[in-house]
A = this chain, B = another copy of it.
Amino acid sequence: MRGAVMHGPGEIRVEEREAPRIVEPTDALIRVSAACVCGSDLWPYRGIGTGDGDWPMPMGHEYAGIVEEVGAEVRTVKPGQFVVGSFWASDNTCEICRAGYQSACVDRVPMGALGAQAERLRVPLADGTLVATPDVPSDDLVPSLLAASDVLGTGWFGAVAAEAGPGKTVAVVGDGAVGLLAVLAARQLGAERIVAMSRHESRQRLAREFGATDIIEERGDAGVAAIKELTGGLGAHSVVEAVGTQESMNQAIHATRPGGHVGFVGVAHGVAIDGMDLFWSLAHVHGGPAPVRRFLPELIDLIWNRQIDPGKVFDLSLPLEQAADGYRAMDQRDAIKVLLTP
């Protein structure tokens, strides 16, 4: 089986990998219809947070595809169905899952370790991880369904964590695919005003398509000042942090009004939140690895009924064999999000 493997920072190769097979009776085996490159894949690509012992690393944790085989205990999906799953496999029955935090399921398995940028994928805990679509989708729906696996689910969680909703002004820090889909989520959740913080024309355009009412190009303190100016000096009710740097986290906290909410979904590398700063901000802060499984049924429904089109974030589509080009394009910000077809 062909699959993408990182052999060190910047070194992506598509090579023969051992084909997965059913290991546990709760596993499903899927033929991957589409996978993609995640913003978080760029951290190891750039050598951040990795060590010599990490290589070789099979890549990819976003996937949608057709079930080929299921283990003896799998009940909710069956061969032939098209399924979307989260980037964490979860039992969806433990107390943490039932509270809506499937990404911290007591039995969770990181899908990244299994390598979804490949022809086939073993999905553990299939009943708690996968959601089947009503039918096999037409090709034009596949990118949007794939997006639900992580990038849409993560942007959605950011907007939910920031308590985006009716009457709210929502600011989104970060114009990557997650940030753009947090704009879409805020719109769906009924936010009154949605401010995308972006200085890239093509991303601004997509943000507007997804529902942004305002664009702010300034960053850092100037970005905060611009948000304050838009909101009568008070700050936004809700701010989604979708970058994961110290500057973006500070910007998010400072742009939030007292009592407002920061939803952070950028993987916070090297970020420290100043306690006194947070104390005086009176902001709520919530974030982390998105519990995508919580949102999947609703997101699939919205996509299936063509109410949302998150697949628009894929501005480059490549055969799996050219995965290295996809990583390069995202690393250099030539592409927002790259779809890979095995």
Contacts and interface: CB of A to CB of B under 8 A. Distances in A.
Interface of A: 95-96, 99-101, 103-104, 106, 232-234, 244, 246, 249, 257-259, 264, 267-276, 278-289, 291
Interface residues of chain A: helix, strand, loop or mixed (majority): mixed
Contact of A96 (B257, B273, B276): B257
B287 A279 contact: yes
Contact of A280 (B273, B274, B281, B288): B288
B278 A285 contact: yes
Contacts of A272: 272-275
20 contacts: A96-B259, A99-B259, A100-B259, A103-B282, A104-B258, A264-B279, A267-B276, A268-B275, A270-B275, A272-B273, A278-B287, A279-B287, A280-B288, A282-B286, A282-B287, A282-B289, A283-B286, A284-B284, A284-B286, A285-B285
A264 B285 CA distance: 12
Contacts of A270: 275-276
Contacts of A104: 258-259, 282
A234 B275 contact: no
Copies per complex? 2
Contacts of A233: 106
Given A259-B101, A272-B272, A273-B273, A95 B234 contact: yes
Most buried by B among A95, A234, A278, A291: A278
A36 to B, nearest CB: 22
A256 B95 CA distance: 14
A90 B272 CA distance: 31
9 residue pairs, one from A and one from B, having the closest CB atoms? A271-B275, A268-B275, A104-B258, A101-B259, A282-B288, A273-B273, A272-B272, A284-B286, A101-B258
Contacts of A232: 95
A282 B264 CA distance: 10
Contacts of A276: 267-271
Contacts of A100: 259
B258 A96 contact: yes
Contacts of A95: 232, 234
A35 to B, nearest CB: 24
A240 to B, nearest CB: 14
A259 B105 CA distance: 11
Contacts of A285: 278, 284-286
A268 B259 contact: no
Given A285-B285, A285-B286, A279 B273 contact: no
Given A106-B234, A271-B275, A279-B288, 5 more contacts: A99-B257, A282-B287, A282-B289, A285-B285, A285-B286
Contacts of A269: 275-276
A43 B72 CA distance: 63
Contacts of A96: 234, 257-259
A166 to B, nearest CB: 15
Contact of A288 (B101, B244, B281): B281
A248 to B, nearest CB: 10
A246 to B, nearest CB: 8
